[in-house]
Chains A and B, each alone.
Chain A
Amino acid sequence: MTVPSSSSRRTAPRRLDVDAMLDRETVLVCCGSGGVGKTTTAAALALRAAERGRKVVVLTIDPARRLAQSMGLTMLDNTPRPVAGLDASAGGELQAMMLDMKRTFDEIVLAHTDAVRAEQILSNPFYQSLSSSFAGTQEYMAMEKLGQLRSTGDWDLIVVDTPPSRSALDFLDAPERLGTFLDGRLIRVLLAPAKAGGKAYLKVVTAGVGMVTNVLTRIIGAQVLRDLQTFVAALETMFGGFRERADATYRLLKAPGTAFVVVAAPEPDALREASYFVERLADDEMPLAGLVVNRVHRSAAASLTAERSLVAAETLEERAEAPLAAAVLRVHSDRVRLGSREQRLEERFTSAHPRVPVVEVAALAGDVHDLDGLRAVGHDLAAASAAGAPGRVAAAG
């Protein structure tokens, strides 16, 4: 007897055609909350695209050590390096790099100002702290690096991993936040003394500015304020360039050829974050390719229900008979239960976002830390998108 799957989907989501996406797009941005396998997904997509014949670079933010090693990422040098072990028979190429946030920031400074001023900026304590710890610097620099890689014209496809943001939204906000900062009235207040020429400004500025400066001194102290003023004054010359780049990156993200891949695990928090992200991308009119749900537990024997399996296990245990068979049944029951819980969570997402294509990747027993592992994930991504859910074997009985 064939028992139909007890939890057939109410809403059949569209399937994400991974291979078509890999062959078509020029920029793929992988995003999602921390701990969902975002970096692994980005690396697996890049490897698969390269082995399908494209010239690919993957920009990772903070890869696990062994995964980084397997891709030859032993140095944080901000330059793409070829990945050894690639099957290049289809004519493709794969390079990988890790983002060096501070160095990327330094490069922007150097590119946008003269040597003397650059030196002033780079040695300012404010800059040093800002370039390595500013909330959003990592996000902004990832986007900056993407823009740089894109402008070389060397790549058919650029795959970007995004920082494990406190909230996935940070990363879209980074260019805008920078813009707001640079255009802000506060900046103008801070610049007032520099513009008016030293202490003379006190006579010409309005009482409002004077009061604010006074308050700022009380809050952050005179020395910090002076450093900040020097820093802002030095930076001012490159504001135009900064702004332009932030806008250009934002436009690049919206341009045809760019697609966002939202990555999640079948867990309530990760799927909730994925929902926010999908909505936010829609608000900003950013092109969403689809959702990758990692580490999904499906059973190819789901026709044997969790309940029947458990009853049989208990029967054997009561009779103190076939302990291993009983344990095997318990493992199965557990897996089916976990699978249907995951499916319920996923259905919650798909009913809220019925038009978002979804693809599932099966959970592996261990972590991925070599090219074969990445290849297997890539294969799984493509196979799941072509064939749908894993095949089910019918239970008789």
Chain B
Amino acid sequence: MSSAPPPVRKVRGRSLGKIVGVGDFDGVRLHVVTGKGGTGKTTVAAALALALAARGRRALLLEVEGRQGIAQLFDSPPLPYEERKVAVAPAGGDVYALAVDPESALLEYLEMFAKIRHNGVAARSLRRLGAVDFATTIAPGMRDVLLTGKAMEATNRRDRGRHLYDAVVMDAPPTGRITRFLNVNTEVAGLAKMGPIRSQADRVMRLIGSPQTAVHIVTLLEEMPVQETVDGVAELEAAGLQVGSVIVNMVRDPLLPAADIAAVARGEVDSDAIRAGLKSADLDVPVELVDVLIAESVDHARRVELESQEREELIELGRPTYELPLLADEIDLGSLYNLAELLCEQGVG
């Protein structure tokens, strides 16, 4: 772990959508983080856990896709099936992490609900027969019930009458699969009209469909991730699930003066003036190079314009929207604190 977190980079003053004061998610205990592949969903989930653990609270970060992405982020060895403290949050709080693997979750489920000891004869012969494999990778819906069931258990767990975790953050499957993943009830309904799986699915659904659960969608200011976000919000709502916020990741600073963006995007740049400007800063460069530099700025301006169109679309969703900057270097623990701090400033936790 690195020592003191680096100084916080101020987020630009572009507030988006409705940003409600401090603690936008008071009352929410299970935070589900989804997003299209490549949007930095795991990083954002980790930053969110740090933000929600700030000031003496305790958060649990759950991983369900077996990638050990959390261990990599926190620079720790692969996580076992055991809640481990991975970081201390800003102003003294604790972040625990757990990689939920379906097999362990199944054995735990058996122990809790079928009174089958995880190291007993029955569990062993089930494993030998491939039943565990079957139930966790092949039996449809079962796997999701086990994974969401574990999140529910952690969310509801109490210690001396109080919730053990103030918040549980789940690094969930991507947007394209999230509704199906969370909507375990519908998933198993065709299979099990009654019985233990059905009861477990019902219990999970009571939490996931309640105001205690919010789904946050991570996106970039690019066409496909924004489209998936818009579709995802519609799907989640249709399934009766609560959409929490939209988190725009890897936002880049516009480097050109706002007033010049439109003209530059159209390629209207006075190259003689630019060259003269460069010269007065002691950069005497050939015309071709000035043209390359201008072409780069035209590219940049076009991207800024596209990004503001995408931003408009996100605003129309009417959700609390947060922005996180693109970091120049690779994500490390220091930058996670940085991102967590930015989330706090924008009203999370």
Q: Which residues of A contact B (CB under 8 A)?
A: 33-36, 62, 64-66, 125-126, 128-130, 133-136, 164, 166-167, 177, 180-181, 184-186, 189, 208, 211-212, 215-216, 218-224, 227, 265, 267-270, 299-301, 303-304, 308-309, 312-313, 315-316, 319, 321-332, 334-335, 337, 341, 365-367, 369, 393-397
Contact A35/B37 with A164-B176, A219-B110 known, Cβ cut-off 8 Å = yes
Identify the interface centre among B173, B194, B299, B302: most chain A CB within 10 Å of its CB. Answer: B299
Would you call B274 an interface residue if the criterion is a C-beta within 8 Å of the partner chain's C-beta atoms?
yes
Report the separation of the CA atoms of residues A325 and B280 in the bound assembly, to the nearest whole angstrom.
Answer: 10
Q: Chain A's interface: helix, strand, loop or mixed, by majority? A: helix
B297 near A211 (CB under 8 angstroms)?
no
Report the separation of the CA atoms of residues A66 and B223 in the bound assembly, to the nearest whole angstrom.
Answer: 10
Report the separation of the CA atoms of residues A134 and B294 in the bound assembly, to the nearest whole angstrom.
Answer: 51
Q: How far is the CB of A193 from chain B (nearest CB, A)?
A: 15
B130 near A185 (CB under 8 angstroms)?
yes
A134 near B140 (CB under 8 angstroms)?
yes
- Point out the residue from B180, B280, B284, B294 that lies within 8 Å of A328, measured CB to CB: B294
**A-B residue pairs in contact (CB < 8 Å), sample of 23:** A34-B37, A62-B176, A128-B190, A129-B190, A177-B138, A215-B126, A218-B196, A220-B139, A220-B192, A220-B197, A221-B196, A223-B193, A269-B69, A299-B292, A301-B289, A321-B280, A322-B276, A324-B264, A326-B281, A329-B278, A331-B297, A365-B302, A396-B289
B129 near A212 (CB under 8 angstroms)?
yes
Contact A211/B194 with A219-B114, A329-B278 known, Cβ cut-off 8 Å = no
Report the separation of the CA atoms of residues A301 and B227 in the bound assembly, to the nearest whole angstrom.
Answer: 34
Report the separation of the CA atoms of residues A393 and B125 in the bound assembly, to the nearest whole angstrom.
Answer: 69
A300 near B292 (CB under 8 angstroms)?
yes
Q: Which residues of B contact A (CB under 8 A)?
A: 36-39, 65-67, 69, 110, 114, 116, 122, 125-126, 128-131, 133-135, 137-143, 173-174, 176, 180, 187, 190-198, 222-225, 227, 255-257, 260, 264, 269, 273-274, 276-278, 280-286, 288-289, 292-294, 296-297, 299-300, 302-303, 306, 328-331
Report the separation of the CA atoms of residues A130 and B139 in the bound assembly, to the nearest whole angstrom.
Answer: 7
Contact A219/B196 with A327-B260, A365-B299 known, Cβ cut-off 8 Å = yes
With a cutoff of 8 Å between Cβ atoms, the chain B residues found around residue A34 in the complex are: 36-38, 174
B116 near A215 (CB under 8 angstroms)?
yes
How many residue pairs link A and B with beta carbons under 8 A? The number is: 233
B180 near A133 (CB under 8 angstroms)?
yes
Report the separation of the CA atoms of residues A322 and B227 in the bound assembly, to the nearest whole angstrom.
Answer: 39
- Point out the residue from B65, B130, B276, B292 that lies within 8 Å of A180, measured CB to CB: B130
B256 near A64 (CB under 8 angstroms)?
no
Q: How far is the CB of A256 from chain B (nearest CB, A)?
A: 32
Contact A222/B195 with A185-B129, A327-B297, A328-B293 known, Cβ cut-off 8 Å = yes
Report the separation of the CA atoms of residues A125 and B225 in the bound assembly, to the nearest whole angstrom.
Answer: 33
Q: How far is the CB of B223 from chain A (nearest CB, A)?
A: 4
Report the separation of the CA atoms of residues A186 and B137 in the bound assembly, to the nearest whole angstrom.
Answer: 14
A332 near B137 (CB under 8 angstroms)?
no
Known: A35-B38, A315-B282. 20 other contacts (CB 8 A): A125-B190, A126-B191, A130-B138, A134-B138, A135-B138, A177-B138, A180-B133, A215-B116, A221-B195, A299-B296, A313-B281, A322-B276, A327-B257, A327-B260, A328-B297, A331-B256, A335-B296, A393-B289, A393-B292, A396-B289
B293 near A332 (CB under 8 angstroms)?
yes
Report the separation of the CA atoms of residues A162 and B196 in the bound assembly, to the nearest whole angstrom.
Answer: 36
Report the separation of the CA atoms of residues A166 and B131 in the bound assembly, to the nearest whole angstrom.
Answer: 22
B255 near A227 (CB under 8 angstroms)?
no
With a cutoff of 8 Å between Cβ atoms, the chain B residues found around residue A135 in the complex are: 137-138, 143
A304 near B38 (CB under 8 angstroms)?
no
Report the separation of the CA atoms of residues A313 and B130 in the bound assembly, to the nearest whole angstrom.
Answer: 65
Q: How far is the CB of B65 from chain A (nearest CB, A)?
A: 5
Report the separation of the CA atoms of residues A135 and B134 in the bound assembly, to the nearest whole angstrom.
Answer: 11
B284 near A221 (CB under 8 angstroms)?
no
With a cutoff of 8 Å between Cβ atoms, the chain A residues found around residue B180 in the complex are: 133
With a cutoff of 8 Å between Cβ atoms, the chain A residues found around residue B273 in the complex are: 322, 324-325
Q: How far is the CB of A201 from chain B (nearest CB, A)?
A: 17
Contact A393/B288 with A64-B223, A166-B173, A186-B134 known, Cβ cut-off 8 Å = yes
With a cutoff of 8 Å between Cβ atoms, the chain A residues found around residue B135 in the complex are: 219-220
A129 near B260 (CB under 8 angstroms)?
no
Report the separation of the CA atoms of residues A324 and B306 in the bound assembly, to the nearest whole angstrom.
Answer: 20
With a cutoff of 8 Å between Cβ atoms, the chain A residues found around residue B292 in the complex are: 299-301, 393
B280 near A316 (CB under 8 angstroms)?
yes
With a cutoff of 8 Å between Cβ atoms, the chain A residues found around residue B141 in the complex are: 129, 133
- Point out the residue from A125, A211, A365, A394 that lies within 8 Å of B306, measured CB to CB: A365
With a cutoff of 8 Å between Cβ atoms, the chain A residues found around residue B173 in the complex are: 166
Nearest chain B residue, comparing its CB with the CB of A303: B289
